[in-house]
Structure 1
């Protein structure tokens, strides 16, 4: 195995991790302060985990893309393209984008059936009880742990090989800034940093693409890359590919990886509470378009980066500039994700190394932020409030969230160091995740989609499925290779067997267990009794804070009157009017009064409108899921797989151009569109800053008092009021039904 020569000094690694991490940390802390002052976004327990449930389409899409751009999105996709050819990169992108689109169905159903939920585990608890709740707690935490371990393991490896930075230091420093800004800003901070990360990653991917396919002296055009890839197939043909070619979709190994990728990523999306957090945070109207647009905008990122850097590595590995020259990358280095850094260093030198470090850093911190907020939400609402302090107020819930963020960050740094020294690579963790967690996917889906599934099926099916998956994985390895080693268990067929058994075994066991132990016939209305956190204490504190402020420093624009006395009288009169105005009405009082003045029929009308909107969105989501499943997984790849087609130079050129155009469209959707949607909020915030800097703070107070409907806190409180009324009505109706049936009114039936 050739040693990967570091091209940058250690200081570069520390500068990026510590320096850029500090920039994001202080930037998000400052942003949180500004949003509190100018938009009245106060950090209540609800706000910390749900952002008021009012986030718009563009920002949710951008956050979904950023959260799903893991380090493996960039590194593993390139490794698959490098090892199996053009179908490898497609297998990664198609096999991981469909789940995001499919998740839109569960996102909508959550809005319909459990509008006040904070985590999907709350839904499990309300439907099946505490035993089932504890089972799914294991799967939720296992998902968070495996994903975070994969992110930190791959990140520390890349920083180590490119800069010589100590891998242990990288593992502990990478999550540091993320944990701090997440503790300060909650999920709102992750939404905003996700947006910045998405912008930067898309720009860097486009930079790599244009460098490799347009301006590089070594490569410089799709035609040149095509010729060199065909030469590489002659030099080292791919086992399992048609005629050993890289330029074909007929690849046995890539086809197997497509299935493994598809199965494993159902688990990492559907069982990771981070994606449920984003769905819960989205406004009802944003739920469907956000996840569909996010899935489609994400797909060209691994597609294009693998097509660019996977083939760049393959075609330049004989160059003296290659970091392991004269040796190619070893299989362990490939599974560590070093294909992308090797290609970047060879083609672009130090600039490529810096761009790679930036991109990997952003991908890791974005993913870790999503996992941190996911763990904080689960710990706060499903562990602390459920088992330790059932009457916890908002302040106590926020405190528990902060504790969870800190402990998780430290624990995962230590765990990733252990994996690194145990030679467990990013690629290994990526493929084994499905074996461990995917047996819980089908039960979770049916929890919101099938009222017959009973508690026995929900509890036994995932546990049994995981056991069967691990057993089949190890038995397949032993029967094929004779011994159990890390390398043997990482082979295609054992991983394929374990992943498929994990996902599909519950499809057999759930119906059997459901009908043997009696179907449940669950009343969906019970899920609407899940309560939001009590924000009254935080709101009262903000009211006191507003009451304590005075109008010191109030100024007015210069008067045109010639008399100084007239000017002074005018100013004093205006100040007095403003004082009276502030004493009469405060933002929080305005909120409460505006909610109280809403007539019941207006609230009912708004609620009915939301229900119709979600019902329509659900029908569209079903259709889109079927369409994209057939398109991405059957219609597009299968004819090319079965036709023995080897790409021509013109076809390959068109393939590259389509991916570049697709990524530009993605940039519009997740970079420009969020700015357009949030233009009013950006304007009012900038205007408020200007008023403060020019001594016109009174105008900010005046605007907040006169336009309460534009403040974030008003929108979130009205949303809470809307669904609290619905929850109360449901409890009343259920109690009446129980009395009519001669039963004692109860929480569950």
Structure 2
């Protein structure tokens, strides 16, 4: 297949868009930490402070669940089976996220301070079981990552001609940069930008293809072309061979595989647990339900547009190109030219990077908490955990490219990995779910169920392939029937062993022990969690999630599709109109929620950031001469005086008072900084914080303020003294810093250590007193 775009465009997307995303996300994290006072501790790095609200959780879910496969494979199955393919892809993969809301709220009830789901299972089942489920967790992240990079690299190669191996290594580049810097919070920001961009592009495709494109001729023209295509090339297993029906045996088989396989990639993927952990308790309910319903619109609307358009326009691709997911990009390029190709390339690239960032954080948290802190160094400090995490992100990020290249060399396609994943990880779904939901779950039954289910699924898949096709190869093992039986065996055997073993020999686990054994070092977040986790509210939320989750599931995968399947219903023109408009309106509604709701919820923080940024900009625009105390027309003069109890610092206070003469309004900010490292601050609990701040206030109260001084403020801070002095001076927008030439600390130079560092760190005028 010849490239539609030039290699230069490919590299612009790979490097330009990737670095732009990295820069944008890094600046967003920087703005939050600088102007909202967020501390970059290990707890913040892994859990985003556990303060994420509904809108951002929903947009994060949409982005994390939108892989290259979502954008590519959905159009592929639609190209193969018609309307039923788009529906079964969307319905078969959205119910897992909606049902996960039940586990998310149970996590908040039973283990609100956990960092990973294997950490919970360590308390629930013990060390040996923990290792088994940690293996499944890491395997899930590896399978998902393989699909992300495989799909992304294949599209970049097909559309631009960039070597697929180079593309596989360049895709993770930007991800590594902002994930190492900003952790999970950076991932949330990247996912919000990605979700918003994807919905905008989908609406562009729908509008262009159904209402503008002369090749399609509108909804009416699409209907006629699909009808003609059904006559020329009827679909085996579809009602009357038509594309315009949900009565499709092939799509139904795909739908079952899709449902089974995606339970594993949600319930066993640490990234979804990470979002449940990061969410405020109230956000855990609405975030996952809204996210699942909004995500439905992406594959459903996109595939109903590009997948059906590929059939209508007679797109011709080889079987290998179809398996690589090239239906959507080829159709976009054919109908919208270079613009369509660039748009599909860009949304796939941003989807891969945003979801890839989620996988990097997940792997780093598993390695850091479940490997390093559990088995290597249980008493590790927060700084050590951050170091391990960043090192893991770097290694796994590079490994993403290596893994994708290896799979491609073996001829493993995106479609193959997507359909296989349920066999590999589906057996862990029941043990994990019952282990967290049901106190009677037997740990031996659950652990053995995961292992036996995996082995049974793989063996059955291989045996059925050999029985039907007579050989074992990538081609034969990738057929639907063996994959369907293997998927059902893996999850079914595991479910049977877990339930049967637990009923025969039930345990009676006290979930309250999770709260006692899983603790947070950060006392402020611990207290916040205790205030938020009201048992009655969480219990009601759990009941709500169960009702909504199961009723939505029954509607999406039973009542709605099966009524159309068993009736062999073929869509009329008027019904097709309703179907297309439903997809369009659903996409608009989802886009509105995903883009607007996070902004509404964060309006105060956004306003505060802009306000402080504006103040900082205005302060920087004032020249040093204007800041000096020689302008009688100034409304107010502000001076910062750092006090450490030394003679020079007290002289500085008296001199500052002298400088205030002639000013109608003036204020002195007296600052005392208690030396405290980042590591000490991170591991300090609330009681120690109060004690240290009280000690600082005693120091300042012992300082006699000049009688003439009426307007002053005493400030106590913990941290690195020169850094805090420069930081407070900037935040307060002071006009001048007056401090001693030397302080209590000894120095061989004329200037004290703190003083010399302040001169380097601040842009404010500094007056030194000897």
Tell me if TM exceeds 0.5: yes
User: What is the Cα deviation at residue 40 of structure 1?
Assistant: 1.3
**Correspondence for 2:332:** 344
User: What is the Cα deviation at residue 16 of structure 1?
Assistant: 0.6
**Correspondence for 2:181:** 184
**Correspondence for 2:633:** none
The Cα offsets for residues 577-602 of structure 1, whole Å up to 9 and x where unpaired, read as xxxxxxxxxxxxxx89xx9xx9xxx9
Which of the two has greater helix per residue?
Answer: 1
Match of 1:219 among 216, 219, 244: 216
User: What is the Cα deviation at residue 55 of structure 1?
Assistant: 0.5
> Any gaps of 5 or more consecutive residues in structure 1?
323-327, 537-590, 706-712, 723-749
Are residues 1:679 and 2:676 paired?
A: no
**Counterpart Cα distance in 2 of 1:679 and 1:613:** 26
Q: How does 1:438-457 map to 2 (within 5 A)?
A: 438-457=426-445
The Cα offsets for residues 197-240 of structure 1, whole Å up to 9 and x where unpaired, read as 00100000110111110001211301101111111111111111
User: What is the Cα deviation at residue 513 of structure 1?
Assistant: 2.9
The Cα offsets for residues 74-123 of structure 1, whole Å up to 9 and x where unpaired, read as 10000000001110110000000000000000000000000100000000
**Counterpart Cα distance in 2 of 1:678 and 1:85:** 41
Match of 2:460 among 428, 449, 472: 472
Match of 1:239 among 213, 218, 236: 236
**Correspondence for 2:534:** 610
Q: 1:435–1:499: 8 Å Cα contact kept in structure 2?
A: yes
Distance 1:700 1:94, change over 3 A: farther
Q: How does 1:523-672 map to 2 (within 5 A)?
A: 523-535=510-522, 606=531, 610-672=534-596
User: What is the Cα deviation at residue 334 of structure 1?
Assistant: 0.9
**Correspondence for 2:740:** none
The Cα offsets for residues 474-528 of structure 1, whole Å up to 9 and x where unpaired, read as 1111111111121211111101100011111122212333355x32211111111
Q: 2:76–2:325: 8 Å Cα contact kept in structure 1?
A: yes
Match of 1:111 among 103, 108, 115: 108
**Structure 1 length as normaliser, TM-score?**
0.82
Q: 1:55–1:282: 8 Å Cα contact kept in structure 2?
A: yes
Q: How does 1:95-494 map to 2 (within 5 A)?
A: 95-317=92-314, 328-494=316-482
Match of 2:90 among 89, 93, 105: 93
Distance 1:665 1:381, change over 3 A: same
Distance 1:721 1:142, change over 3 A: farther
User: What is the Cα deviation at residue 700 of structure 1?
Assistant: 14
Q: 1:394–1:535: 8 Å Cα contact kept in structure 2?
A: no
Q: 1:688–1:700: 8 Å Cα contact kept in structure 2?
A: no
Q: 1:123–1:527: 8 Å Cα contact kept in structure 2?
A: yes
**Correspondence for 1:497:** 485
Q: 2:111–2:518: 8 Å Cα contact kept in structure 1?
A: no
**Correspondence for 1:694:** 618
Kindly report the root-mean-square deviation, in angstroms, between the aligned alpha carbons of the 2 structures: 2.5
The Cα offsets for residues 148-193 of structure 1, whole Å up to 9 and x where unpaired, read as 0011011111000100001011000101110110010010001011
Q: 2:113–2:520: 8 Å Cα contact kept in structure 1?
A: no
**Counterpart Cα distance in 2 of 1:23 and 1:249:** 42
Match of 2:508 among 500, 514, 521: 521
Q: How many residue pairs are counted as aligned between the two chains?
A: 637
> Any gaps of 5 or more consecutive residues in structure 2?
623-636, 641-666, 671-677, 688-770
Structure 1 consecutive aligned stretches of length 4 or more whose deviation exceeds 6 Å: 696-702
**Counterpart Cα distance in 1 of 2:639 and 2:226:** 62
2:180 match: secondary structure: helix
Which of the two has greater strand per residue?
Answer: 2
2:568 match: secondary structure: coil
User: What is the Cα deviation at residue 532 of structure 1?
Assistant: 4.4
**Counterpart Cα distance in 2 of 1:399 and 1:535:** 18
Q: 2:446–2:497: 8 Å Cα contact kept in structure 1?
A: no
**Counterpart Cα distance in 2 of 1:65 and 1:278:** 12
**Counterpart Cα distance in 2 of 1:237 and 1:229:** 10
User: What is the Cα deviation at residue 29 of structure 1?
Assistant: 2.1
Query: Relative contact order, CA 8 A, sep 6+: which one is greater?
Result: 1
1:175 match: secondary structure: helix
**Counterpart Cα distance in 2 of 1:373 and 1:664:** 30
**Counterpart Cα distance in 1 of 2:457 and 2:381:** 42
The Cα offsets for residues 639-689 of structure 1, whole Å up to 9 and x where unpaired, read as 100111111111111100011001111011110111011000000001110
**Counterpart Cα distance in 1 of 2:46 and 2:247:** 45
Are residues 1:43 and 2:33 paired?
A: no
**Counterpart Cα distance in 2 of 1:67 and 1:42:** 25
Q: 1:691–1:700: 8 Å Cα contact kept in structure 2?
A: no
**Correspondence for 1:745:** none
User: What is the Cα deviation at residue 633 of structure 1?
Assistant: 0.9
**Counterpart Cα distance in 2 of 1:534 and 1:292:** 31
**Structure 2 length as normaliser, TM-score?**
0.80
**Counterpart Cα distance in 2 of 1:508 and 1:639:** 29
Distance 1:530 1:19, change over 3 A: farther
Q: 1:73–1:302: 8 Å Cα contact kept in structure 2?
A: yes
